[in-house]
Amino acid sequence: MPMYKEAVKAMTPFLVDNFGNASSIHLEGQEAKNALHEARSKVAQILQIQPAGVTFTSGGTESNNLAIRGVVSTKRRDGTPMNQMEIITTKIEHPATEKTLVYLSRKGVKIHYVSVDAGGQVILSELRGLINEQTILVCISYVNSEIGTIEDIGAVSRVLEQEQALGQHVLLFIDASQAPLWLPCELPRHKINLMSLDAGKFGGPKGVGILACGKGIKLEAITFGGGQENGLRPGTEPLAQIVGGVKALEIAQQSYLSRSESVRNLRDYFMAKLTNEISGCIVNGSVGEKRVANNVNVSIPGIDSEFAVVMLDTHGVSASTRSACSAAGGGESTVVKAISGDSIRATSTLRFTLGEDTTKAELDKTVAILAKHVEELKKL
């Protein structure tokens, strides 16, 4: 999505005039340090955590890595061998989580995959059964990046809370990169221990993210260098990007309710029109309140989804086959395959992302173009 104008305005002084390094002791450096402190305090206020729990990163991918590998490294530092650690996740996670866990599994950490239902919701009874004395972490997305399912984080945290009452302390890490524009993101609301955010997903600049840690969470660093970000993320802080990202987060969280309501109506209109006017079109993921307002993901068996994306692009319509990070690898959607078990459905997916400026006329145009394309394919 484009950056909010307010975010660009907030960044501009730090791109032009206030160019100091926040780690320097001269006047310009101290001015930068003060601005960084204000940005961190603002994030802490929005997410309802302590400023020390805010770490600025290069984006959601780095935040996910730091959260997951940081927990494992901390446990290892405290004397737990990696082959005595277990992590629970799902088969529908973003590659930044999925591939980090694959890496850790090669190091000896045991990864369990809890099943999800046809809408992408975690099956809580199975989650409860997977937890044991070696479980250290549960990793799930707040909003699925492909099918838009909103996970019931409160229900998941209640399962972990019940286990804690029995003496088993399991941390909860939430990838919330897709959430701030549409959902509340305060950590205490659902007893979240660690949460990742990506400014480029909520109207901020690309290349900056946040790892938010709740009370009592201490992480071991996974990269090394200077002492910036409490030693967790060494390297000179990109102050302009941070300031812009924080301004965007503030805007996103101030108005997520009204934004969701208006865009949700467009989403439902678009999904109904697609399924009514295109034969065989199937909506992937949950519907209604369990789906984020801006996501439409469908399968149209028989189409070449990548060719369809290119065709739509020639008509000025931007779509994708999967999340951008997943799509880089080609092939079927592992998310749609996980919820449906259908390879044909998983290789014929189209994902549309709506925004506050999307109009019904644009959606009508998209359906007409796509319906014509499908009819032409049938003739062939």
Give the residue numbers marked as catalytic: 325
CA nearest 323: which of 357, 284, 348, 297?
297
Extended beta strands in the chain, E state:
54-57, 86-89, 110-113, 135-141, 171-175, 194-198, 209-213, 282-283, 295-299, 349-353
**Contact criterion met (CB below 8 Å) for 101 and 137:** no
Closest CA to 292 of 159, 147, 165: 147
Of 189, 185, 235, 190, whose CA–CA distance to 211 is shortest? Answer: 185
Q: Do the Cβ atoms of 128 and 159 come closer than 8 Å? A: yes
* Three-class SS state of 165: helix
Burial category of 251 from C-beta neighbours within 10 Å (exposed 0-12, middle 13-18, buried 19 and up): buried
